[in-house]
Structure 1
Amino acid sequence: MSDTWDGQITAYDRATALSGARLLSLSENATYLCTFSDTPDPLVLRLHRPGFRTLPQIRSELMWTERLRADGAVATPAVVPTPAGEAAASFRGAGGALQHAALFEFAPGAEPDTTDFTNVMEVVGRETAALHEHASRWRRPDDFTRPDWDLAHLIGAASLWGRWRDNPDVPPGGVEVLARAEEKLTRELDAYGGGPAVFGLIHGDLRAANLLVAPDAVRLIDFDDCGYGWFLYDLACSLSFVEHDPRAAHWVTAWLRGYQARRPLREEDVRAIPALVMLRRLMLVAWVHKRGDTPFAASLRPAFAAQSVELARHYLADGYLTAVHHDH
């Protein structure tokens, strides 16, 4: 799969100055650490999966990250504009398809030490609160456009990752369990509502893997999934792939401690968390099937679907995340 992406780099408009490229990650996009003969420092090149994001959506994402930097809300790597002064590049790739790309300054730091996931989650909660504060007060330009992360776009007919039912790893008896979990979370989130106090511009994938910890700052990266969703869906994203872990309630408590140090929550917000985590998990059941061509998704199969069914059983019995504590 990465060979296909490697071929795209040769068509990139700065490729004549490219002196080296190393694949950093492969998921929705391919991200490379690149060296160029015309710049002293390495830069990070993100090649977008064709058809996944439009150029106006990518430009809007970069508009937000640059505004976050300018306003001092959170630390995030600077965008390196194209020679023409555009935030994102668009070119014909090696196969002739339209390819979008973005270039960023290389940010020092490493992923947080997940062996101490409690502390990591508290940091993520704190940074997420700063992000949401900014999103709530920022007046976006008229041409700002990002995806909606409502039920239809996460697990419904409009989902970019398909439906969880498409995943053949779901055991026969598990289909009915996951269907009932979907019905329950739909009822609960309908009751929770989607007003501006609970629903707005979010990161959409704020996991430990999308933090860079350095002595001087914690930097947030990969805003490619930013869009309009429930604010506490960002908490659900922080639990991605470990929602079934017995320590999940402890981690959620730590996230809430960090978040509420900056941004208060109500009882009804906290009550919505199990439904939002279940929503994210159902989306990921579809994702691991849709992105089975990536090493990470392949490594999760087939156990992920069966673990999801067990998590859904706990959720249906109102026994999921019951040990979560938060400050009033």
Structure 2
Amino acid sequence: MLSEEEYAKVAKESLIQYPIICDELVYLGKSDNVTFLVHTNDENQKYLIKIHISTSSNKTKDNIESELIWLEALDGDTDLFVPVPIRNLEGDLVTEISTYHNDNKFIVTIHHWVNGEVLMREPTSNETANLALLMAALHKHSMQWNAPDGFNRPIYNSDHLYLSLNQLKHLLNLELMSSEAFAYVEESAHKIANVIQSHKRLQSNWGIIHSDLHESNYVFYEDIPRPIDFSNCGYGFYLFDMAETFLHLSFENRKIFIASYSKVHQLQENYIELLEAFFIWSIIRTFAFHSLNPIEHQSLAESFPSVIEDYFIKYLKGEHFLLNSHEN
């Protein structure tokens, strides 16, 4: 594992292959990617470097390239402000860099920087309405766009759900989750899988989705949201995309979101039932992701009892919970 300084050398090496003159390189952080902000002599020309370090099978070169192909299409086909990728001097979206001290290769991508404010709070009603319009615009493009041959992105289906469920078993084995709690999660997963498999995929309800549009993955610029970090985009139900965002919104903002989104796309009659299934799926997915980080194990263990009571048990009983905490 490289140090911050060593990753900076990889970033500087990659810049040689791009039509970018760097004035300053600023380290931003590390997760699935190591990221740097590139300042140039023009304050309006800033860039984001991603050094892709995830070993996930969904983070291969062609998978990452497919993400960038959709971003290019969104930039060309819509008025949305997205992190447009920069092609290198060879015209490629993805650059492979060998490290200076061994034969390892890193996949590096560079994007235009997206200016805006990351919300450190619940969005206002107006911001929520605009966020819904952003998602509706992404879905509208997805409905009309034909992905090219070789386009390779994750598929959010029942197999993906069960992968998350299996990951959560790790917490059960570590005794951070009770067998009773896991039984509720497992039963819910089986119920959701039936919903996924029985819900017919149509052009109007299934396509490429962001799948991770929460407060860390959008910024606001003059009250207009701009999506960032498309690294989890893939094929899924549009309502699953919405459910992921609902994890981070209040009851009232969820209602505002639905009302605003519905002005662009009419929701089917049983959308609440589907949203609640996908909402539980989103919780399973989120907990599974955080379970990969041992630092977060204790907080996950502490949150399980209330999450099981407030969501999983209600879902299994058929009680509505998404739009009103007191609704039965």
Work out whether the TM-score is over 0.5.
Answer: yes
User: Hey, what does 1:24 align to over in structure 2?
Assistant: 28
1:145 aligns with 2:145: no
Does structure 1 conserve the Cα–Cα contact (< 8 Å) formed by 2:188 and 2:316? yes
CA distance in 2 between counterparts of 1:150 and 1:212 reads: 28
CA deviations 1:213-249 (Å, max 9, x no partner) are 1128432111111110111111122134x4xxxx743
User: Hey, what does 1:97 align to over in structure 2?
Assistant: 104
CA distance in 2 between counterparts of 1:235 and 1:170 reads: 28
1:57 aligns with 2:56: no
1:303 aligns with 2:302: yes
SS of the residue aligned with 1:87?
coil
1:112 aligns with 2:119: yes
Structure 1 residue 306 displacement after superposition = 3.4
Does structure 1 conserve the Cα–Cα contact (< 8 Å) formed by 2:7 and 2:34? no
CA distance in 2 between counterparts of 1:292 and 1:20 reads: 34
Q: Which amino acid aligns with 1:316?
A: L
Unaligned runs of 5+ in 1: none
Match of 2:167 among 151, 159, 163: 163
Does structure 2 conserve the Cα–Cα contact (< 8 Å) formed by 1:79 and 1:87? yes
Structure 1 residue 319 displacement after superposition = 2.5
Residues 322 and 216 (structure 1), Cα distance of their counterparts in 2 relative to 1, 3 Å cut: closer
SS of the residue aligned with 1:107?
coil
Residues 92 and 14 (structure 1), Cα distance of their counterparts in 2 relative to 1, 3 Å cut: closer
Match of 1:48 among 48, 52, 68: 52
CA distance in 1 between counterparts of 2:44 and 2:225 reads: 24
User: Hey, what does 2:258 align to over in structure 1?
Assistant: 256
User: Hey, what does 1:313 align to over in structure 2?
Assistant: 313
CA distance in 1 between counterparts of 2:167 and 2:201 reads: 22
CA distance in 1 between counterparts of 2:294 and 2:43 reads: 36
Q: Which has the higher mean CA deviation after the structures are superposed, 128-137 or 41-50?
A: 41-50
Does structure 1 conserve the Cα–Cα contact (< 8 Å) formed by 2:139 and 2:208? yes
Unaligned runs of 5+ in 2: none
Normalised TM-score (structure 2): 0.84
CA distance in 1 between counterparts of 2:162 and 2:36 reads: 32
CA distance in 2 between counterparts of 1:106 and 1:44 reads: 5
Normalised TM-score (structure 1): 0.84
1:269 aligns with 2:268: no
Q: Which has the higher mean CA deviation after the structures are superposed, 213-222 or 128-137?
A: 213-222
CA distance in 1 between counterparts of 2:187 and 2:150 reads: 39
1:188 aligns with 2:192: no
CA distance in 2 between counterparts of 1:24 and 1:306 reads: 34
CA deviations 1:260-300 (Å, max 9, x no partner) are 1211111123320010010111111211111346xxx5684
Structure 1 residue 165 displacement after superposition = 1.6
User: Hey, what does 1:230 align to over in structure 2?
Assistant: 237
User: Hey, what does 1:283 align to over in structure 2?
Assistant: 285
1:86 aligns with 2:88: no
Q: Which has the higher mean CA deviation after the structures are superposed, 68-77 or 32-41?
A: 32-41
Residues 34 and 151 (structure 1), Cα distance of their counterparts in 2 relative to 1, 3 Å cut: same
Does structure 2 conserve the Cα–Cα contact (< 8 Å) formed by 1:124 and 1:208? no
CA distance in 2 between counterparts of 1:196 and 1:212 reads: 29
Q: Which amino acid aligns with 1:28?
A: D
SS of the residue aligned with 1:23?
strand
Alignment of 1:200-211 (within 5 A): 200-211=207-218
CA distance in 1 between counterparts of 2:91 and 2:42 reads: 16
Structure 1 residue 162 displacement after superposition = 5.4
SS of the residue aligned with 2:198?
helix
